Chain A
Amino acid sequence: MSALVIENLSKHFGGVAAVSGVSMEAPPGRVTGLIGPNGAGKTTLINLITGVLTVSDGRIHFGGQDITQVSAHLVARSGVARTFQNIRLLAEASVIDNVMIGFYRNEKTSTLASLLGLPSARRETAALRSRANALLERFGMSQYANHEAGGLAYGHQRRVEMMRALASEPRLILLDEPVAGMNDVEAGELGEIFRGLARSGMSVLLIEHNIRFVTNICEYIYVLDSGRMIASGTPEQIVNDPAVITAYLGS
């Protein structure tokens, strides 16, 4: 069981509550959606889950473990990967190096072996390189392997970030507005990939601004507004919920 379970989570910045009393779940095998207008607290919620921000109140469980107070890199180690709303690549590194750092979580080489440059360390690096190449192939990015990531077109950068997250073989992937700036066809293709990940047993949490995309892709949707969860349910329930309509269209 590697479900993400959030109970009554709150975050205050000074006196301002960015997230208050939020509870939700993202079970494996499902694409779960989290929507809300700008400033609703979606990215704050991701930063709380991934350990970038400290939790003010409430609990976060992942795979049966309490990760409420766990630091960011250990949350990642336990199998949580993410993409960023404003793509964050290692701009100066090549595309393949960007993907290779994704494997870090499962690398076996010890610090000493790496420092001494032991054959085992070099073998693992070579193996990761070929796995990264395979991943590039799957995403149709092979010809860019040695290009600097920072110089790629926007859509390609999104793909590199996605590959990096997948390289860590996560049990939960948090996607922060992954189709922002894409047209419907591109978004649709990516949506299929997300469903495929869920079918393979991963928990997928999709954070979006765009209601239409989320209702197409997700099986279950949570709606956040001003830091509070105002609705949750199937896509049909959500689009017909008066509170959601008010939040999106304004009262």
Chain B
Amino acid sequence: MLAQQLLNGLVVGGVYALFALGFTLVFGIHHLMNLAHGAVFMTGAFVALYSVLAGLPLWVSFVLAVVGCGLLSILIEITAFSRLRKSGEAEFGAIISTLGADLFIMSFAQKISGSDILRFPFETFPVQIFQFMGLRVTLLQLFMAGSAVVLMLVLTCYLFRTTLGTRIRSVSANERAAVLSGVNPHVVYYQTFFLSGALAGASGVLIGLAFNSIQFTMGEPFLLRGFVVIVLGGMGSIPGAMVGGLLLGMLQTLTAAYLPSGLTDAIIFSLLFVILLVRPYGLFGKETAGAMRAQR
């Protein structure tokens, strides 16, 4: 029973990790937060759903959602970030302006869907259950875990094995130095936002398939959990987001399984609060990450 819960938690955690990776990637580069990330996630589920309803095969819909969300995310960088970067209050400004983008996208989705809960048609994803060593795994769960692993590997290779990735990391480490050595920061910004949006889109499709309950508000709880993951892992840390996502997934399934229902959120967000007080730079962040004020 415990093993089954842990397994389910790992699968959900993988999707949390995907979502949070995109969130933390932008923070790592800009030191600004993109609160429209939840809306991009929701858009992923919407695009995939409407593509499937229009008769496209699931894999095409998946690709459409991923690419579409990447592009949407670039649009967010252009409309909500680019003007702020020069102002002195970018940190605050970004939060406000991406909240604005979040509301705007959500309201657009609400116009399309009404406030209804939408569902993928039956058997969009083949229902198949495997049993081994007493554990029960659905084909969909395997697909989710597989996608999460593949996408994370692709991202890691991209960031750490290609020149483009090196540029992204150099801007993240020291933007001015990177620009001086000839890196065009705009190209880097667009790439990070595309990657970030694509990851959000992918996790949106996976969650849409898994819970089959798609609504224009579905991004909000994910955004809130995204905070938990990236703070737990360390703001801006890529391995941190991966580990943080898995931990949150397991914590959530375990508390839901063994504690009175309804306490899950209280526990998760108390945990977030406590981590910020005790170790604001998270598991993998550096103490110099600027979470705390200088004080004597």
Contact = CB atoms under 8 A, between A and B. Distances in A.
A–B touching in complex (CB under 8 Å) = yes
Interface of A: 51-54, 69, 71-72
B296 interface: yes
Interface string B278-296: 0000000000000000111
Nearest to A150: B88
Contacts of B295: 71
B83 to A, nearest CB: 19
A118 B296 CA distance: 34
- Identify whether the interface residues of B are mostly helix, strand, loop, or mixed: loop
Given A51-B296, A72-B296, 6 more contacts: A52-B294, A52-B296, A53-B294, A54-B296, A69-B296, A71-B295
A82 B294 CA distance: 18
B93 to A, nearest CB: 15
Nearest to A74: B296
Contacts of B294: 52-53
Interface residues of B, number: 3
Contacts of A51: 296
Nearest to A53: B296
A52 B295 CA distance: 7
Contacts of B296: 51-54, 69, 71-72
- Identify whether the interface residues of A are mostly helix, strand, loop, or mixed: loop
A69 B295 CA distance: 11
A52 B294 CA distance: 8
Interface string B253-296: 00000000000000000000000000000000000000000111
A230 to B, nearest CB: 28
7 contacts: A51-B296, A52-B294, A52-B296, A54-B296, A69-B296, A71-B295, A72-B296
Contacts of A54: 296
A52 B293 CA distance: 11
A148 to B, nearest CB: 14
A53 B295 CA distance: 7
A208 to B, nearest CB: 25
Contacts of A69: 296
B195 to A, nearest CB: 33
A48 to B, nearest CB: 9
Nearest to B296: A54
A119 to B, nearest CB: 36
A234 B294 CA distance: 37
Contacts of A53: 294, 296
A55 to B, nearest CB: 8
A243 B295 CA distance: 36
A54 B295 CA distance: 8
A123 B235 CA distance: 48
A66 to B, nearest CB: 14
A53 B294 CA distance: 8
Contacts of A71: 295-296
Nearest to B294: A52
A13 B20 CA distance: 33
A58 B213 CA distance: 65
A51 B294 CA distance: 10
A54 B296 CA distance: 6
B274 to A, nearest CB: 26
A71 B296 CA distance: 5
B46 to A, nearest CB: 42
A54 to B, nearest CB: 5
A130 B295 CA distance: 35
Contacts of A72: 296
A51 B296 CA distance: 7
Chain A to chain B: the 7 pairs with minimum beta-carbon distance, closest first: A54-B296, A71-B296, A51-B296, A72-B296, A53-B296, A52-B294, A52-B296
A2 B294 CA distance: 28
Contacts of A52: 294, 296
Interface in B154-199: none
B290 to A, nearest CB: 16
A232 B295 CA distance: 32
A106 B8 CA distance: 63
A52 B296 CA distance: 7
B101 to A, nearest CB: 26
B293 to A, nearest CB: 11
